[in-house]
Each structure stands twice: as C-alpha cells, then as structure tokens.
Amino acid sequence: MVSPYAFNVPGGVQFHVRDLAEHLLSEGHDVRVLAPADEDADLPSYVDSAGRAVPVPYNGSVARLLFGPVTAARVGRWIDRGGFDVLHVHEPFSPSVSMLAMMAADGAVVGTFHSSTMRSRALLTVMPLLEPQLEKLSGRIAVSREALRTIHRHEGAADALIIPNGVYVDRFATATVVPRWQGSDERPTIAFLGRLEEPRKGLSVLLEAMPRLLEARPGLRLLVAGPGDPGEALRHTSARVRAGTEFLGMVSEHDKASLLRSVDAYVAPNTGAESFGIILVEAMSATAPVVASDLPSFADVLAGGTAGALFRTGDPESLADTLLRLLDDPGERGELAARGAVRAREFDWSRVSADVMDVYETCRAANAGAVRTISSGRTKRVLRGRG
C-alpha cells in the first residue's frame, strides 16, 4: 500500500491505511506500506519511509506531500523489490508518492479515492497527463458517494466500487468511561475532535452556538480535543464561553475512545470538503449520540438522519436547536445512540476488509505475475510534463 501523506502526522487517510494494513496482517497476509515520514519518525515495522514530506496547502487543509524525480526513482525501486501481488495506492489524485507509484507500476494496481473536492483547476491542467496513468488502475475504490462524485468531476464516466472507511468498532464500544468527562442532567458534556485552526472542521460554528447552549444549560461543558492554539480559537468568544470550554490538546487513540464513550453527545459542525466522516462512525461505535452538519457525506454515514441528528451546515442556531432537543430528551438520545451503534457495525473492519480483499483478488486474477515498474524514462517524461 502507498499513502500520499506523512505517516507520522495524524490524518484520516493515514489511519485508514494503518488500520487496513494491520487487519490484513492479522489475517496472515504480507503487507508493506510506503509513505512519506520524517527521518526520526517512530514507524510501525511494516512501513517504509519514502523520505521527508513538505507541507502543502491542499483540499482546504495542509497536507505533507512528497514528489519529484528523486522520489519517483525511490518509489520504483521499492515496487521492484517488493514483488507485490497487488499494489494499492491511496489518493491517486494527490501529487505525492501514491501518484508516483501509480505512474510507475504495471500490473494489479488498485486505487482508493478518499477526498471530496470541488473541480480543481490544477487537476484539470494535469489531467491529460494523468488520464493514461489512471486508466492503468485495475480496480477503483471510492470511500463514499462524495468521493465517487469527485472521480466523476475529474474523469467523467470513470466508475468505482464504494467501500467505506473502516473502524474497529469494539475498541470504541468497550472503551473505559472516564468520570471527569461524563456529564449529568445539570452538567452535560459534549465533545468536538479536530484541528482547531482548520475552518472546515467547524469549531467556530460550535463556539457561535455556545452562548445559546449555555443560556439554556448553564452547566454545559464543551470538551475540545485536537491540535491548535486554544487562545486563538477563543479569541472572539465571551468569558462565559471560555469558562464552559475545556481544551484537551492531542489525545491518544485510547483516550479518544474513552472521551467518545463518556460524553452525552458528539458534535460534528464541519462546513465542507468532507468525503466520509470517520469520527462519526467512531462516535456511534462508542454509543455517543451524534449531532452533525447536514453535509451529504455525513448524511450518508448517518443513514439520512436516523443514526444521528442533522442540522443545517454552518448554522449555529440550527446546531443549538438540534442539540438542546436531544439534551432535553434522554429517551430520544438513548434511541439515537442505539441506532447509531447498529449502524456503526456496517463499517467494522471485518466487513470492510473483506470487500477490499474481493477487489484485490479480482484484480490479481486479471493480472498475472508480480507488479513491476514500467520504463523509468516514461515516468520522468510525465514528471517533466511531456506525457
């Protein structure tokens, strides 16, 4: 497998690659992962570093990518050494090692498309060069309908099988409840997880809803986990909102599960550019009632609103109305949590990895022999923009 983003930096694609690799390893398969990583990064034994990545603004965030002729040569050597039955590249559209691997490889090559992006001018510019490379993919996977729409925006009629992101559901369902994060009727707790300074994660929308929430529920506590500057996030808020908001910083996977297991509700106020919403599945797995913006990808994960409550994207008043309704009705909150827990089982890695393996086996059957590299000269010509 090839990850385009730095493996030592938290991110949805990296977590997906990690968890899929570890599930396949647990089933007895041989798995290697190639990804950018810092020189001193503490990597799992199955991960090979492609070199240090460079921070680049990408798809509404900052991605750490790695590209260029030197990296292309390194990727090619890794493919030839591996003698892989299947090469699985994640985010082939991203200008990083996944794209280079797709360009270099010949054989059973599977591509998974994770992102939901608007029609990109940069991609439109390079698409004539990429189209022959994308046509080499033996199998295509989109993690959601939104990710599939992104493929269609850039490749027209190209199609893919929708296989969602996976979650180890039981890790969240059996997580330890932490008393300091638990709420009560007088002091309910709600949680937000995400990068504080990334606008599309929507923390500002939630903070705008806080005065109304605190007016109705004076003891309410907002627990915020994720990287970023709390002072900057709270700069335009009142003293009352600041007093009701607790920043936990970066939390471990273990603590994330416990946090979601402990709170009265999880709030996902994201404003766009989300193709799936893995945190929603994690919250549902932990039996936390989910309140989320009505992005199409979130609505899909929440089964149209039956497995979680939806509010109008970017609307603090709608968020407050929806959350207060749930906090005021323990019965509805319990029913929503129960439906969410059932829905989460559909995303367990035991089911998701089986679907991925079906794609691998189909592609392998259509491509005899190990995956090998094509002419290095051809790859260099593509990198130099001469097709």
Q: Where are the domains of the chain?
A: 12-166+349-383, 169-346
pLDDT at 59: 55
370/109 Cα distance (integer angstroms) = 10
- Least Cα distance to 143 among 111, 182, 119, 183 occurs for 111
Tens place of pLDDT per residue across the chain (387 aa)? 999 998 988 888 999 999 999 999 999 999 999 999 988 889 999 999 998 877 666 555 555 667 778 888 999 999 999 999 999 999 988 888 999 999 999 999 999 999 876 455 555 555 556 677 788 899 999 999 988 988 887 666 567 899 999 999 999 999 999 999 999 999 999 999 999 988 999 999 999 999 999 999 999 999 999 999 999 999 999 999 999 999 999 999 999 999 999 999 999 999 988 889 999 999 999 999 999 999 999 999 999 999 999 999 999 999 999 999 999 999 999 999 999 999 999 999 999 999 999 999 999 999 989 999 986 555 555 444 444
Q: Return the pLDDT at 157.
A: 54
d(CA 271, CA 122): 23
Residue 12, pLDDT score: 86
- Predicted local confidence at residue 65, as pLDDT: 63
283: how many CB neighbours lie within 10 A of its CB? 32
Q: What are phi and psi of 258, to 5 degrees?
A: -65, -40
Query: CATH classification of 169-346 is 3.40.50.2000, yes or no?
Result: yes
Q: Render 334-387 in DSSP notation, one character per residue.
A: HHHHHHHHHHHGGGBHHHHHHHHHHHHHHHHHHS-S--EE--HHHHHHHHTT--
Q: How many CB atoms lie within 10 A of CB 285?
A: 27
d(CA 285, CA 155): 35
CA distances from 345 to 259, 283, 285, 340, 342 (A): 20, 12, 8, 9, 6
Question: Please, are residues 181 and 189 in contact by the beta-carbon 8 Å criterion?
Answer: yes
Burial of 100: CB neighbours in 10 Å, binned 0-12, 13-18, 19+: buried
Which amino acid is present at 373? Answer: T
Angle between helices 349-366 and 12-26 (to 10 degrees): 80
What is the H or E stretch that residue 21 is in? helix 12-26
Question: E strands of 75-209, at which residues?
Answer: 87-90, 105-106, 109-113, 139-142, 161-162, 189-193
DSSP state of 106: E
**Structural contact between residues 148 and 160, judged by C-beta atoms closer than 8 angstroms:** yes
If you write DSSP's letter for every residue of 37-93 in order, what string do you get?
A: --TT----TTEEE----EEEEETTEEEEE--SHHHHHHHHHHHHHHT-S-EEEE-TT
C-alpha distance from residue 92 to each of 224, 248, 314 (Å):
33, 34, 30
**Residue 197 corresponds to which tokens in the numbers above?**
């300074």
State how far the Cα of 307 lies from the Cα of 291, in Å rounded to an integer.
Answer: 10
Superfamily (CATH) of domain 12-166+349-383: Glycogen Phosphorylase B; (3.40.50.2000)
DSSP state of 273: -
